Amino acid sequence: MTATALSQSSHRVTRPIALVLFGVNVLLSALYVVLYLRARAFSPQVFGFPGATAVGGLAFGSMGLLVVLRQRRNPLGWVMLVAGLLLQIVDVAQLNAIVAYRGGSADGLVAPLTAWLGSVLWAPGLALLPIGLLLFPDGHLGSRRWGAALVAVITLDALTIAALAALVTSTIVRGPVSLGADGQLSVLGAGMTTATIPGQLFVMSTPLLILSFVIGTVGLVVHTVQARGDRRQQMKWFASAAAFSTLALAAFVTAQVTTGSASVAIRVTSGAFVVALSMLPVATAVAILKYHLYDIDVVISRTLVYGSLAALITGVYVGIAVGIGELVGSGGKPNLGLSILATAIVALGFQPARERLQRVANRLVYGLRATPYQVLSEFSSQVAGSYAADEVLPRMARVLEEGTGSETATVWLRSNGELRAAATWPDPAGDLYMPAITVATGTLPALHGVTRAVEVRHQGELLGALSVVKRRGESLSPVEDKLLDDLAQQAGLVLKNVGLTRALQLRLEELRASRQRLVSAQDAERRRLERNLHDGAQQHLVALKVRLGLAEMLLSKDPDKAKQTLEQLKSDTDEALETLRDLARGIYPPLLAERGLASALESQARRAVVDVTIDAAGIGRYSQETEATMYFCVLEALQNVQKYAGAVRVVVRLRETGGTLRCEVKDDGRGFDVAHVPKGSGLQNMADRVDAAGGSLTIESAHGAGTTLWVTIPATSREAAHAALRRHA
């Protein structure tokens, strides 16, 4: 049999045992009420005050049951469960002994047995508590050296119980039995006999029980001081209650040994000891409810509800069937009418009482937070019919944060191979930045800085994730952890619809952008033609006009040279016509396309009316966009020089450095004030061209010092441009 199978088999055995023990505890508490009502005629002196021990025993049993159901291997749960049961048996046995002996019905074995139980079992019930003090809260000793302390406690308890059992047994056997007002044998009161060996042993063992409490309390205090964080907070309440219990027990035992059983000291110290004992399960409840000891929120909620219902039903039934029966004089005999009335009242009030108790239990367990069921219900109702990312995702984050009690909760969306924070609750501050996380595979990558993250899937596809960040020192309880998983399962379809909606919105935005790009492309093409006409064909025509003017002057002075000029004008006119044809066909100048930037610029330099020098050492071939940008910028610069600068000489230098093509155009003209002279259409066209190519344009000029223009653009080689075209083809 595997370890898992053995664990499951053990759980199937321990759970029913724990439930049976707690059920007997509840029944005994109800029986205690009935017996107390019957024993009132004999003025019983109950321990502490009426019902105190029954409530304390029920509290011990409830806490013990919670621990056993959650951590069945933790002996502390069994210690509290058995201790609570023994305390209930002691009270019931003492009341039954009073009714039997003082009512004259002590014949048989039941009366002596209940007298024995009521006089003996309180010792093992109390003796278990120091053991529990050493084992709190996880059922383990703080270290091996405390094993000796545990052995000492068990030994001291065993000696006390053995001495008490021997004294009580010998007293009952010798007879006759004499009970005190509290239902115990009179021999256990003040002035206990030392004439017998059992009596002497019990007198000597009485301080041993106190000593075992002292050892257990010291061990618990030491462990509390050594603990840190939440564990220390969980233990300090229990340690305080244990110290109070030890002091109260010492005072009670002292009063028991030195005064009469009905003395004021006995009544005061017994009441204080009952209160002190009740503080132990109360301190355990504080550690569980406030500091999440054992992580048993759901179990606590159900136990509080149904335990309270059981106590309420018992109280109502006993109050009607027994209390009213006593008032109407039924003499303790069953009354069928009252039983039917009690049953009807219980049936009618069960559901309203359960709902009210459930709300109270939820408030105790979860505080101001909703229960996990309410969180899931609220989540389903809020996201139904709403799939807009700006609405549903913040709601999802808020529900997650409120349900888990975390500091922040975040909803992540997967898009284009990345995981991005789509919504965070509470709303993050402006300086909070969550970088996108690459999702290399179909699994959730590590999210740093979060307490826990769970992936959100739909039909096996990873759509996103939910993450929470708890406050420092806190962790997710099992209930909160399961709630996070359940929310992630429900969020799959929601994120799928959010993704589809977002994809549709992106398609619409892309369509709108594509239409805008078409319009922009048409405008850009018109501007390109305008620039090309302005920078290319217009430059040729300007040059023709200048040469015509020169030829006109030469006709009267030097007819032969005028004839040569006219011949040159024919060639220039043919070239201008070819340029216009090329522009009409939307291609680059043939020389630029065939031989490159240097040859095309040298051809244009020969046509200029000023002396133009082209220095293009080391210049290679580039993409059409790069060459066209630089070519037309240089043409525009030469045209401006010829029209406005009054220059004699122009130098054009082209260099490539570190993947950047740089051109310098420098003339010796009159210059101008760059800061105050506005840009004309030619310079604006140049600036637009360079900006579109991702480059820069700089001008330096001053009156009488000429002008220098720098154009810098990225140098994309022809081979790289062709490779990019092939990849996108």
Q: Residue 386 and residue 393: Cα distance in Å, rounded?
A: 10
Instruction: List CB contacts of 690: < 8 A, sequence separation 6 or more.
Output: 629, 633, 696, 697, 711, 712, 713
The pTM (predicted TM-score) of the whole model is 0.46
Look at residue 140 in the predicted model and tell me its pLDDT: 75
Pinpoint the alpha helices (H) of 197-296. 197-226, 229-258, 264-291
pLDDT in tens, 35-74: 888 887 777 776 656 767 777 788 888 888 878 877 777 8
Q: Residue 187 and residue 193: Cα distance in Å, rounded?
A: 7
Q: Please, what CATH class does the domain formed by 372-516 belong to?
A: alpha beta
Look at residue 328 in the predicted model and tell me its pLDDT: 57
Residue 177's nearest CA partner among 127, 118, 80, 111 is 111
Look at residue 649 in the predicted model and tell me its pLDDT: 93
Q: How confident is the model at residue 571 (pLDDT cuts 50, 70, 90)?
A: confident
Q: How confident is the model at residue 543 (pLDDT cuts 50, 70, 90)?
A: confident
Q: Where are the domains of the chain?
A: 3-295, 296-368, 372-516, 595-729
Q: How confident is the model at residue 1 (pLDDT cuts 50, 70, 90)?
A: very low
Residue 133's nearest CA partner among 124, 142, 123 is 142
Whether 652 and 663 have beta carbons less than 8 Å apart is answered as yes
Whether 588 and 624 have beta carbons less than 8 Å apart is answered as yes
pLDDT in tens, 397-447: 887 777 777 778 888 888 777 788 878 887 765 444 567 787 777 777 778
Give the helix/strand (H/E) hosting 63. Answer: helix 52-70
Look at residue 7 in the predicted model and tell me its pLDDT: 46
Residue 312 has pLDDT above 50, yes or no: yes
Q: Which of 86-90, 423-427, 684-688 has the highest mean pLDDT?
A: 86-90
Q: Residue 41 and residue 57: Cα distance in Å, rounded?
A: 25
Task: Give yes or no on whether 3-295 and 595-729 have one common fold.
Answer: no
Higher-scoring residue by pLDDT: 354, 66: 66
Fold designation for 595-729: Heat Shock Protein 90 (3.30.565)
pLDDT in tens, 321-340: 555 655 655 554 555 666 66
Q: What is the mean pLDDT of residues 562-573?
A: 74
What does CATH list as the number for 3-295? 1.20.1070
pLDDT in tens, 639-682: 888 888 888 999 999 999 888 999 999 999 998 888 788 877 77
Whether 648 and 610 have beta carbons less than 8 Å apart is answered as yes
**DSSP classification of residue 436:** -
pLDDT in tens, 167-176: 888 888 777 7
Residue 617 has pLDDT above 80, yes or no: yes
> In this structure, which amino acid lies at residue 726?
R
Backbone angles phi, psi at 672, to 5 degrees: -160, 170
Residue 574 has pLDDT above 80, yes or no: no
pLDDT in tens, 472-524: 656 676 667 777 888 887 777 777 777 677 777 777 776 776 566 556 656 66
Look at residue 650 in the predicted model and tell me its pLDDT: 94
Residue 370 has pLDDT above 70, yes or no: no
Whether 671 and 684 have beta carbons less than 8 Å apart is answered as no
Structure tokens at 444: 């959730």
Look at residue 709 in the predicted model and tell me its pLDDT: 93
